[in-house]
Structure 1
Amino acid sequence: MRVLHAVTLHSPSHAFGGPVRVALNLSKGLRARGHEARLLALGDGFEKWPTAVEGVPAKLFPARRLLPLGFSGMTSPALVASAGRLVRDADVVHVHLARDLVTLPVALAALRAGKPLVLQTHGMVDPSEKLLAKVLDAVAVRRLLRGADTVLYLTPHEREGLDAVVGAPLANTVRLVNGTPAQEERPAPQGAPRILYSARLQARKRPVDFVDAAPAVLAEHPDAHFVVAGPDEGELGAVRARIGSLGLTDRFTVPGALSGEQVLAELRRAHVYVLPSVDEPFPMSVLEALAVGVPSVVTHSNGLARDIARAGAGRAIEPGPEGVAAAVLDLLDPAANRGASLAARELADGSFSMDAVLDTLLPVYGAALRS
C-alpha cells in the first residue's frame, strides 16, 4: 500500500513540532510493515535539500511566506500545482490537517481525485472566532471534515471541537492516540539533578513557569541544573530575561532547537521532564520522555495527564510554577524517581507503542480503500 503523509512544514529546527514527528513515526512504522510511505511538506532552513527524512522518502518544497500569519501564511505554488499529481500516485492520502495553505490544498486535491482520504488534526482545527479561520472553514475545512473517509482525533475534547466546527456530529471519526517508537532505557540518573523542558518556546507552553519553578527546587537541591530547549516562537526573550532577573544564568542551559537525536540524548541525562503547557492535546515530547523512562510533569489539561497520574509515571498538576516545583521535588526523591521511571516505560510500551497505533490505523486505511 502506498501512503502519502502530508504535513505543513519540516525544518532542521523542528519548528512545526508534534505533527511532523507523528507523520514520521507513522511512516517509519508503515515501512517496517512492508508498506510504501512517504512525506510531503514545505521545507525551510536547509543548506542541502533532503530527499528523505529519517529514512522516509520525502518531497519537500521551498517554503514561501505570503502572509505574516505564522505557519498559516506559508505555502509553495509548486506544491499546490503538483498536489493533484502527487495524490494520484498514492493509494491512501493521510493529511495532518491544519488551517493553512499546504495541507488544505493537498486534502482538497485528494477529495477531487476520489482518493481515500484520512485526516488527522492534532488539535489544530478547533472552534475559532478569527476571521481567517472562519473564511477557511467556510471555503474548505467543513467540506473536508465531512468528505474525508476518516477523521482521526486524539481526545474527546478534540472530537467535540471538530463537531462544533462542522456544526453537527461527525459520523466518520476514529480515535487514534499518538505513539512513540521503543527507546533504549535511560541509565540510572547520576550526579546533580537535571530538569529538562524540550518544546517550542511559545506562550501556551509556559516555559517561563519552568524558569520560575527553579528557585524552589534550588533551595533543596542547590546543584540542580535546568535545560530549556526548543525553537523560539516568541518566548525566548522572556525566558532569558527571567533567568537573568533571578540571577540563575549559571543554573540554566538554553541550547535552542535540538535534533531528534539530541533530544533523546538530553532525555537520557534528565532526572525529570517538565511540560508546563495548558490545553496540550497529546504531546509527543512527553511520550518520548516516557519511552526513555523519564518521569514527567504535566498540567491537568494535558491529554496525557490522566494516564500519567493513573500509572504513576510522573505528576499531573495545576498550572503555575508552584505546582511545577513541588512535583519536581517529589520526583527527585530517588525511590519516587525510580518507581515513576519504571511506570513511564510500562505506560509507553503498553498504551502508546507504535505497534498499538498501527494496529488501529491500518484497518482505517483498509476501510477507506474498500469504500
Structure 2
Amino acid sequence: MKFAHYYPGAAGEHSGVVAAIAQWTHAMLDAAEQVVVLHHGAPPEPARYGAAELRQVRDIGRGRPTRVPVGLDKALHDVDVLVLHEAWFTANLVAARAARRAGVPYVVVPHGVFEPTWIGYLRQPRRLRRALEASVLRGAAAAHVWFPAEAEHVRRIEPATRCVIAPPGFDVPAERWRPGGDYLAWYGRYAVRNKGIDMLLYALSTLPAACRPRLRMHGVDYEGGLAYTKGLVDALGLGDWVRVSGPIRGADKRDFVLGSAGFVHPSRWDCIPIAVAENLALGVPCLVSDRINLAPALSAERAALVTELDTDMLAAGLIELSERGAELSGRGREFVTNHLSWRDIVPHYLDQIEDVIGVGAR
C-alpha cells in the first residue's frame, strides 16, 4: 500500500504529532510499504521522514485557523490511503473533501484531541466545530486511535465511526538506566495546563526542603508556557531546586534521562505520551498521572508509578519514585517489549487498514 500523511505542520518545528508521523513513516517503510509525506512550504529536514517521498502542496491562508491546502487531490493520484492528523482546524476539512474528490479513502488520527478535557479548551463556536468534525469522521474509512479509551472519545463526536486501534511502537535500546542520578527529569512542551507543569511545581513546593528532589526541565515553548514556568518557579521559591531550560534532543536528551533518578509526566490528559514510552524503553523509572490513556495498563503491570493528579498524592509520588527506581526500571522495559513492539503492532495495524479500505482497493 501507499500511504500519504497530511498535517499542516509536517515540515515545521518538532512536536508530538510530527514525532508520531515520523515514527509511523519509518515503521511503514521498514515493512516495505510506500509512504508519501505531504507538506506545505520548504521541505522538512532530510532525516525526519527517512526515505519517504516528499510532496509539496500549495496552501493559502494565514496561520492554523485559516491555512488550507490547494490542489491536494492532484497529489493523491497514486495513493491508496490518506492519513489526516489531529483535528479542529480547517485544513483537514478541505483535505477530506479533496480525498473524496480523488476517490481515495482517508483515515483520521486524532492524537487525543477528542478527549473531553481537551475539547473543553476549544474556542467557540464549539457546537459548529463539533458538527464539522463529525462530518469529517462520517466520510472517513476509520479513525486510527491508539487505545480503546480513545475510540470512545471519537464516537462521542460521531457514533458510527469505525476505529483502527494500534499504538505507536518503540524499540528497546541496548542502553539502559542505572541508579545513581540526583535529579528528576522532565521534557516536552511547556503547555502548562495540559502537561500538568503547574501541579508538578506546586507538589514540589509542599515538600520539606530537606527531602525535596531536584528537577531539571527541558522543552519547547508553547503559548508563553516557558516564561510562565520560570515565573512560577520563582514565585514558589523553587529556584534552588528547579532548572527550566529550552529544548533537548538526540544524544543529549538520552544522556539527560539516563543520568536522572527518574522521569516525571503529570499530564492532565495525553493520548500516548511519547516521552513516557521512550523512557520506559530505556528503563528510566517513570511517574505518570492517572489521566493518560496508558495509565491503566502501566498500573496493572506495575511498570510505572501512577498517581492521582492531586498535589499531595503527586508530592508523595515524587519521593516514592526515587525509592522504587530499580524495581520500576526492569518492568518498564518489559512493558515496552510486550505491548509496544513494532514487530507486533505493524502487522495488526496493516490488517485493520486493509479491512477498512478493502484489500486491493486501488
Fold shared per TM-score above 0.5: yes
Which of residues 114, 119, 124 is equivalent to 2:113?
124
The equivalent of 2:4 in structure 1 is: 4
The equivalences for 1:250-329 within 5 A come to 250-329=240-319
The equivalent of 2:45 in structure 1 is: 50
Does structure 2 retain, via aligned residues, the 8 Å contact 1:97–1:104?
no
The equivalences for 1:16-165 within 5 A come to 17-42=15-40, 50-51=45-46, 53-57=48-52, 58-59=54-55, 66=62, 72-73=64-65, 75=67, 80-125=69-114, 128=119, 130-139=123-132, 141-165=133-157
Q: 115-124 or 55-64: which moved more? A: 55-64
Structure 2 distance, partners of 1:149, 1:108, is: 13
Flag the 1:257–1:37 CA change in 2: closer, same or farther, 3 A. Answer: same
Flag the 1:261–1:290 CA change in 2: closer, same or farther, 3 A. Answer: same
Structure 1 distance, partners of 2:239, 2:217, is: 12
Structure 1 distance, partners of 2:5, 2:329, is: 33
Secondary structure (helix, strand or coil) at the match of 2:71 reads helix
Flag the 1:256–1:132 CA change in 2: closer, same or farther, 3 A. Answer: farther
Shift in Å at residue 74 of structure 1?
A: 5.7
Shift in Å at residue 332 of structure 1?
A: 0.8
Flag the 1:236–1:60 CA change in 2: closer, same or farther, 3 A. Answer: farther
Does structure 1 retain, via aligned residues, the 8 Å contact 2:181–2:259?
no
Does structure 1 retain, via aligned residues, the 8 Å contact 2:3–2:36?
yes
User: How many correspondences in the alignment?
Assistant: 352
Flag the 1:261–1:111 CA change in 2: closer, same or farther, 3 A. Answer: farther
TM score, norm. by length of structure 2: 0.86
Aligned sequence identity (%): 22
Residues 262-319 of structure 1 show CA distances to partners (whole Å, capped at 9, x for unaligned) of 4333222222111111132221121111111112111112111112212222211111
Structure 1 distance, partners of 2:270, 2:199, is: 15
Secondary structure (helix, strand or coil) at the match of 2:87 reads coil
Partner letter of residue 6 of structure 2?
Answer: A
Residues 231-265 of structure 1 show CA distances to partners (whole Å, capped at 9, x for unaligned) of 22243233111221333324322222333554333
The equivalent of 2:350 in structure 1 is: 362
Flag the 1:248–1:138 CA change in 2: closer, same or farther, 3 A. Answer: closer
The equivalent of 1:179 in structure 2 is: 169
Flag the 1:246–1:134 CA change in 2: closer, same or farther, 3 A. Answer: closer
Structure 2 distance, partners of 1:254, 1:246, is: 14
Residues 120-147 of structure 1 show CA distances to partners (whole Å, capped at 9, x for unaligned) of 11222356575354434434x3233122
The equivalent of 2:321 in structure 1 is: 331
Residues 86-110 of structure 1 show CA distances to partners (whole Å, capped at 9, x for unaligned) of 2223222122231213333223212
Structure 1 distance, partners of 2:278, 2:21, is: 15
Structure 2 distance, partners of 1:24, 1:247, is: 40
Structure 2 distance, partners of 1:206, 1:236, is: 13
Does structure 1 retain, via aligned residues, the 8 Å contact 2:11–2:39?
no
Flag the 1:272–1:126 CA change in 2: closer, same or farther, 3 A. Answer: closer
Secondary structure (helix, strand or coil) at the match of 2:169 reads coil
Secondary structure (helix, strand or coil) at the match of 1:131 reads coil
Does structure 2 retain, via aligned residues, the 8 Å contact 1:153–1:173?
yes
| Root-mean-square deviation (Å) | 2.8
Flag the 1:185–1:328 CA change in 2: closer, same or farther, 3 A. Answer: farther
Structure 2 distance, partners of 1:261, 1:132, is: 44
Partner letter of residue 55 of structure 1?
Answer: G
Structure 2: unaligned runs, 5 residues or longer: none
The equivalent of 1:236 in structure 2 is: 226
Flag the 1:42–1:311 CA change in 2: closer, same or farther, 3 A. Answer: farther
